[in-house]
């Protein structure tokens, strides 16, 4: 059963039937119901390619992502994408992930946009000065940034409060008497890493403390770099009494380095990791700064993207959620 056959069955024009199926307001309710009933009874399903050409939409949204090996085993990433997928599937729409090499990311954006392969994009791992966002703003293509960036034009974004979260961790350690606190950071061209570092330094300054430059180690974004960063801290003299790791991917490596070195975590050195560690270090109750409900966050970003595609102003679609400190067994008083 195709559109022509359905139109012939109903004794209507293809145009009227198509408009009724696609919810055009100029088709009256009685006609629309008659068309929909006939389509259901005949088992008619619209050709998605033809429909997208007719209405100028694909009903597909996506994310272009330079996948790291650790991403496929990252429960936070998978939960966030799961929330996006479920929200779109409930509306009979689809979500796709376009893996891309880091050096080809902007070219991939241009190809996707020029070909109108999706109706909107989620831009993840935002950078301080993000050329992807600058491009999408220039061509007026719908997007929601998962994170913020430095740009003058209004744009839609969803983020967790990076400064607030790092202050929670720093104050928790200060309250236990720590003064030599180290920070393992993701690459500082990423906006979240820069915000967390700035918040850490400001919080330490408010306590009358200046972090030792040797205790500020950037570019830790996976298990290997987290492991190496912690090894570097352990070689310092004096070494820090506490460490904050600003992302859970390198947090796993940092914890492993402590365990391999025979350090009694929570006694010899305290540690707080940003992001849930429950699924990556079984049996170790790590103190964390948690981003609550990543699945709901993914759903929220899709709701925002659909609103944006429907004509909502970008400046009305800016959402900041608060992280929470989850106490564990890896923080104690310095020896």
Q: For a pLDDT cut of 90, what percent of the chain falls above it?
A: 70
The arithmetic mean of pLDDT across residues 162-187, rounded, is 98
Look at residue 47 and tell me whether its pLDDT is greater than 70.
Answer: no
Pick from 301, 302, 294, 275: which is nearest to 286 by CA?
Answer: 275
Whether pTM > 0.85 for this model: the answer is no
What local confidence, expressed as pLDDT, does residue 238 receive? 95
Q: Determine the Cα–Cα distance for residues 274 and 245; give it in Å rounded to an integer.
A: 6
Q: 3-55 domain in CATH 1.10.260.40?
A: yes
Q: How confident is the model at residue 136 (pLDDT cuts 50, 70, 90)?
A: very high
Sequence spans of domains, the chain: 3-55, 60-160+293-322, 162-291
Q: 60-160+293-322 domain in CATH 3.90.950.20?
A: no
- Topology at the third CATH level for domain 162-291: Rossmann fold (3.40.50)
Look at residue 220 and tell me whether its pLDDT is greater than 80.
Answer: yes
Q: What are the φ and ψ backbone dihedral angles of 85, each rounded to 5 degrees?
A: -65, -45
Q: How confident is the model at residue 53 (pLDDT cuts 50, 70, 90)?
A: very low
Lowest mean pLDDT among 11-15, 77-81, 221-225, 279-283: 279-283
Burial of residue 18 (CB within 10 Å: 0-12, 13-18, 19+) is: buried
The arithmetic mean of pLDDT across residues 212-241, rounded, is 96
Pick from 273, 222, 191: which is nearest to 73 by CA?
Answer: 222
Residue 268: partners with Cβ closer than 8 Å, 6 or more residues away: 335
What local confidence, expressed as pLDDT, does residue 26 receive? 76
Q: Determine the Cα–Cα distance for residues 141 and 155; give it in Å rounded to an integer.
A: 11
Q: Determine the Cα–Cα distance for residues 136 and 299; give it in Å rounded to an integer.
A: 22
Q: What is the mean pLDDT of the chain?
A: 91
Q: Determine the Cα–Cα distance for residues 298 and 300; give it in Å rounded to an integer.
A: 5
3 state DSSP class of 124:
coil
Q: Determine the Cα–Cα distance for residues 289 and 271; give it in Å rounded to an integer.
A: 11
| Cα distance between the two ends of the chain | 77
Q: Determine the Cα–Cα distance for residues 125 and 144; give it in Å rounded to an integer.
A: 12
Look at residue 280 and tell me whether its pLDDT is greater than 80.
Answer: no
- Same fold flag, 60-160+293-322 and 162-291: yes
Q: Determine the Cα–Cα distance for residues 190 and 228; give it in Å rounded to an integer.
A: 20
The arithmetic mean of pLDDT across residues 276-280, rounded, is 70
Higher-confidence position of 177 and 114: 177
Contact in structure between 193 and 148 (CB atoms under 8 Å): no
Contacts of range 132-141, beta carbons closer than 8 Å, 24 or more positions apart:
132/105, 132/106, 135/106, 135/109, 135/110, 136/109, 139/113, 141/113
Contact in structure between 243 and 230 (CB atoms under 8 Å): yes
């Amino acid at each position: 059963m195709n559109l022509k056959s359905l139109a012939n069955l109903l004794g209507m024009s293809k145009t009227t039937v198509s408009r009724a199926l696609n919810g055009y307001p100029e088709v009256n309710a009685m006609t629309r119901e008659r068309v929909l009933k006939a389509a259901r009874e005949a088992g008619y399903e619209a050709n998605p390619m033809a429909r997208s050409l007719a209405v100028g939409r694909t009903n597909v949204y996506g994310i272009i992502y330079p996948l790291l090996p650790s991403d496929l085993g990252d429960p936070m990433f998978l939960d966030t994408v799961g929330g996006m997928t479920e929200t779109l599937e409930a509306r009979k729409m689809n979500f796709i992930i376009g893996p891309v090499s880091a050096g080809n990311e902007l070219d991939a954006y241009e190809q996707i946009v020029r070909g109108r392969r999706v109706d909107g994009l989620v831009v993840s791992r935002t950078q301080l000065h993000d050329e992807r966002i600058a491009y999408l703003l220039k061509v007026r293509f719908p997007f929601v940034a998962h994170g913020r960036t430095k740009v003058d034009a209004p744009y839609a974004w969803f983020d967790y409060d990076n400064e607030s979260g790092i202050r929670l961790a720093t104050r928790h350690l200060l309250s236990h008497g720590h003064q030599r606190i180290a920070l393992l950071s993701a690459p500082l061209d990423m906006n979240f890493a820069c915000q967390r570092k700035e918040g850490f330094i400001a919080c330490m300054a408010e306590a009358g403390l200046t972090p030792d430059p040797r205790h500020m180690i950037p570019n830790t974004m996976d298990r290997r770099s987290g492991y190496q960063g912690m090894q570097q801290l352990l070689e310092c003299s004096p070494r820090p009494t506490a460490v904050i790791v600003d992302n859970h991917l390198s947090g796993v490596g940092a914890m492993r380095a402590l365990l391999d070195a025979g350090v009694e975590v929570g006694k010899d050195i305290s540690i707080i990791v940003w992001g849930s560690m429950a699924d990556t270090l079984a049996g170790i109750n790590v103190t964390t700064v948690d981003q609550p409900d990543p699945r709901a966050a993914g759903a929220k970003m899709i709701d925002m993207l659909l609103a944006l595609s429907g004509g909502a102003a970008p400046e009305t679609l800016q959402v900041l959620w608060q992280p929470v400190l989850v106490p564990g067994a890896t923080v104690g008083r310095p020896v």
